[in-house]
Amino acid sequence: MRTSPLDGAWALVTGECIDNGQMVRYAEHGISSRKVLAAGHFTFVSSRQGAFWSAGSGRFHFDGERYVEQPNLGTFPPEALREYAFQARIDGNDWHNERWEDGTRVEYELWRRIDDTP
Protein backbone atom coordinates (compact mmCIF):
# COMPACT_ATOMS: atom_id res chain seq x y z
CA MET A 1 0.00 0.00 0.00
CA ARG A 2 1.33 3.42 -0.96
CA THR A 3 1.45 6.26 1.55
CA SER A 4 2.43 8.71 -1.23
CA PRO A 5 1.69 8.69 -4.97
CA LEU A 6 5.48 8.60 -5.40
CA ASP A 7 5.99 5.38 -3.42
CA GLY A 8 7.58 2.76 -5.65
CA ALA A 9 10.59 2.27 -7.89
CA TRP A 10 11.68 4.82 -10.50
CA ALA A 11 14.25 4.93 -13.31
CA LEU A 12 15.85 8.17 -14.47
CA VAL A 13 14.85 8.84 -18.09
CA THR A 14 16.69 12.12 -18.61
CA GLY A 15 18.01 15.04 -16.64
CA GLU A 16 20.39 17.94 -16.37
CA CYS A 17 21.87 20.13 -13.69
CA ILE A 18 24.18 23.05 -13.28
CA ASP A 19 27.49 21.98 -11.75
CA ASN A 20 30.24 24.54 -11.15
CA GLY A 21 28.41 26.98 -13.43
CA GLN A 22 28.17 24.53 -16.34
CA MET A 23 25.09 22.65 -17.57
CA VAL A 24 25.60 18.90 -17.26
CA ARG A 25 23.26 16.80 -19.39
CA TYR A 26 23.05 13.35 -17.86
CA ALA A 27 22.80 11.45 -21.16
CA GLU A 28 26.04 13.04 -22.43
CA HIS A 29 27.85 11.64 -19.39
CA GLY A 30 26.20 8.22 -19.39
CA ILE A 31 24.45 8.84 -16.07
CA SER A 32 21.67 6.46 -15.06
CA SER A 33 19.89 6.14 -11.75
CA ARG A 34 17.25 4.22 -9.83
CA LYS A 35 15.27 5.65 -6.93
CA VAL A 36 12.98 3.87 -4.48
CA LEU A 37 10.51 5.78 -2.30
CA ALA A 38 8.42 4.29 0.51
CA ALA A 39 6.71 5.62 3.64
CA GLY A 40 8.50 8.98 3.56
CA HIS A 41 11.96 7.53 2.85
CA PHE A 42 13.99 7.56 -0.37
CA THR A 43 17.15 5.90 -1.56
CA PHE A 44 18.93 6.14 -4.90
CA VAL A 45 21.95 4.72 -6.63
CA SER A 46 23.50 6.20 -9.78
CA SER A 47 26.09 5.06 -12.28
CA ARG A 48 28.19 6.94 -14.79
CA GLN A 49 29.40 5.16 -17.91
CA GLY A 50 28.27 1.88 -16.32
CA ALA A 51 30.29 2.25 -13.10
CA PHE A 52 29.09 3.23 -9.64
CA TRP A 53 28.91 7.02 -9.28
CA SER A 54 26.82 8.01 -6.26
CA ALA A 55 24.18 6.94 -3.76
CA GLY A 56 22.11 8.55 -1.05
CA SER A 57 19.11 8.19 1.19
CA GLY A 58 16.97 10.14 3.60
CA ARG A 59 13.45 11.45 4.08
CA PHE A 60 11.07 13.00 1.57
CA HIS A 61 7.79 14.87 1.52
CA PHE A 62 5.44 15.37 -1.42
CA ASP A 63 2.37 17.63 -1.25
CA GLY A 64 1.20 17.13 -4.84
CA GLU A 65 3.21 20.05 -6.27
CA ARG A 66 6.39 20.22 -4.22
CA TYR A 67 8.80 17.32 -3.64
CA VAL A 68 11.37 17.87 -0.87
CA GLU A 69 14.31 15.55 -0.18
CA GLN A 70 16.26 15.67 3.05
CA PRO A 71 19.24 13.36 2.56
CA ASN A 72 21.01 12.17 5.69
CA LEU A 73 23.39 9.65 4.16
CA GLY A 74 25.26 9.73 0.89
CA THR A 75 28.47 9.52 -1.08
CA PHE A 76 28.76 13.28 -1.34
CA PRO A 77 30.35 15.94 0.90
CA PRO A 78 28.63 16.79 4.21
CA GLU A 79 27.54 20.22 2.91
CA ALA A 80 25.40 18.39 0.32
CA LEU A 81 23.31 16.87 3.14
CA ARG A 82 20.77 19.68 3.00
CA GLU A 83 17.18 20.07 1.90
CA TYR A 84 16.42 19.98 -1.83
CA ALA A 85 13.02 21.33 -2.93
CA PHE A 86 11.62 20.60 -6.38
CA GLN A 87 8.55 21.67 -8.29
CA ALA A 88 7.10 18.25 -9.08
CA ARG A 89 4.45 16.89 -11.38
CA ILE A 90 3.21 13.35 -11.96
CA ASP A 91 1.91 12.59 -15.44
CA GLY A 92 0.82 8.94 -15.63
CA ASN A 93 3.98 6.92 -14.93
CA ASP A 94 6.26 9.93 -15.43
CA TRP A 95 7.50 12.14 -12.60
CA HIS A 96 8.97 15.54 -13.52
CA ASN A 97 11.16 17.49 -11.07
CA GLU A 98 12.56 20.99 -11.42
CA ARG A 99 14.76 22.66 -8.84
CA TRP A 100 15.20 26.43 -8.93
CA GLU A 101 17.64 28.71 -7.10
CA ASP A 102 17.50 32.51 -7.36
CA GLY A 103 15.23 32.34 -10.42
CA THR A 104 17.48 29.91 -12.31
CA ARG A 105 16.58 26.30 -12.99
CA VAL A 106 19.53 24.37 -11.58
CA GLU A 107 18.20 20.86 -12.02
CA TYR A 108 15.64 18.96 -14.07
CA GLU A 109 14.85 15.25 -13.85
CA LEU A 110 12.35 13.00 -15.57
CA TRP A 111 11.74 9.70 -13.79
CA ARG A 112 9.58 6.80 -15.01
CA ARG A 113 7.87 4.32 -12.72
CA ILE A 114 9.33 0.82 -13.10
CA ASP A 115 7.09 -1.10 -10.74
CA ASP A 116 3.41 -1.87 -10.41
CA THR A 117 2.94 -1.30 -6.69
CA PRO A 118 -0.82 -1.19 -5.99
pLDDT tens digits, residue range 37-78?
999 999 999 999 999 999 999 999 999 999 999 999 999 888
For residue 116, pLDDT beyond 80: no
Which residues fall within 8 angstroms of residue 37, CB to CB, at 6 or more apart? Answer: 4, 6, 7, 8, 10, 60
Average pLDDT, the chain: 92
The domain segmentation of the chain, as residue ranges, is 8-113
Evaluate if residue 118 carries a pLDDT over 70: no
Q: Torsions phi, psi of 5, nearest 5?
A: -65, -15
Distances (CA, A) of 50 to 9, 105, 115: 20, 27, 22
Q: Cα–Cα distances in Å, from 6 out to 14, 60, 102, 113? A: 18, 10, 27, 9
Question: Given this model, what pLDDT does residue 1 score?
Answer: 56
Contact 111, 13 (CB under 8 A): yes
pLDDT at position 30: 94
Name the CATH architecture for the domain at 8-113.
Beta Barrel (2.40)
- At 7-22, the pLDDT tens digits run 999 999 999 999 888 8
Give the list of residues 6+ apart from residue 26 with CB closer than 8 angstroms, or none.
12, 14, 15, 16, 17, 32
* Model pLDDT, residue 76: 85
| Alpha carbon distance 75, 56 (integer Å) | 6
- Give the per-residue pLDDT at 39: 94
